[in-house]
Chains A and B, each alone.
Chain A
């Protein structure tokens, strides 16, 4: 039992008991945390407490309720800083999620600087959210999107990386951890290579923040983006971290109240970053819930939790390899708690449907990374992802179900 190895450092049963979904659905084997994590009781309570006790709009009211809502909301910027090792709460903008954060950087920062013949560099393993926003502005500006290839192991071909960088490269945008293959990319090296040429770099940390140590004191990324809902927080919450000098260069892409300093019929003067991006009433309860999710994460030792989830993934991979008709997709040296595989002659949806019938939640398809799977000539994979509420019992159940699949399918 893997849990015994971690018993002292990580009380799994006690952690799992903090997630109410497993009390309501004790039979659930949830292996889809890379899509969205489950939520601890404290986060659910923070949201309902806000609506029941503290509901008011922020930044506008002089009454106590509004002041308290504002204070709670702004406090979360400090909590995010503490989680990712950033120094300045004003480097943190709240968004709807990773996708919106990337769109803001593409539309509000890069587009105005992008000219005909320029290039934007991403990798072949990016989620559609870190591909389409760049692809679209490149098309609008007659710039080109360049792609760092991925080798058979599912790792970036970094020896080719420097060849892609030249005076035309205006942006690099790379995932920290692949949402399909689980590969942990060497972002420190990538950031340093981009910075040698003064090229701004965005890191898509949707699969890492909250699960894997991310420290902006060590990582010199110019933009870091992630979602609240993948790190035990509420749906519809996200973060854009923007390093000092770049924060002043991000224009709003979405206009309205709350983001302005002065409005006349002919002209508007906007507030500074991050408030210039937060037009309209934001998801206040959600952001407060995100703060509570950070409190939850900070009770844990992220090095230990990342190792635990990865060890569960290793155990699952080892046992998958013993099943004759299953093929793992990629074999990266450095990986997190995500694995993709397929069953020969049985489509991924049929596999996931069979597992669903056994109360095992996995994802099937191209995982919003269609070009990656196209390049690997695989139409769809089954993806399993592990988190701190999973146990080796979950691995046993998933492996037993996959073992039973052949009998079901071929009998």
Chain B
């Protein structure tokens, strides 16, 4: 197990290094300049600016400096917001996005698991069908359309919730719901498949034959085993939440990283894009690592085969 974890951590660091390098390289290949009204500047002014930001040095030197600073937690300063360090901007916006993402994930996962259990228990019946149809819709319809519908219906037509903003609990409802729908649908479909599979296993028949009550069979034997593989979709879910939050934050005017990311790209704010990209990738890679380790801990079969391979 220890060897397995070490191996996973090594690959995680390798992947992260590749991300950092790729981000740097693509920034170097970027068209356009980071300076506003660059045409109006005289060559001397431009050179002074380039020198100030270290953009006149050879690429390899910039790269080395970049890695060195990165290790020390210095991601440079944003071109967009005066000279605010990227790290402090990220620290300022990340909690908002994290809040939004975690709320959506918790709500989506809990309701999804419950709905999946109910659908799985009524396999082939109306309950199952309706849950699956709802889940397919939730899974397929893009989150930005959901957000639009919710914002229009519950924010504009019937003014229950605020149209935009991020403050009290009421402002959380619409964005969190729009983001949670996708997660909910994915978890429901996954959980239902697992439940159907587990309920057909021999040990369920054994448990029933022993004369256990239905609730004991369902909760002690079926649900517990069906829950294990749900851990594996945590990785793809994190990616979906990251993608989703970029649009949701834009639509509801939430001051998080996603909204910032899009505007950084449009304004060519290199350090900000690099920082956000690295944060997203780091988060994603870390989730995959946690999932791998967690899965090894929960399911002994993985632990054994993982240790040998």
| A and B together in one complex | no
Residues of A bordering B, CB below 8 Å: none
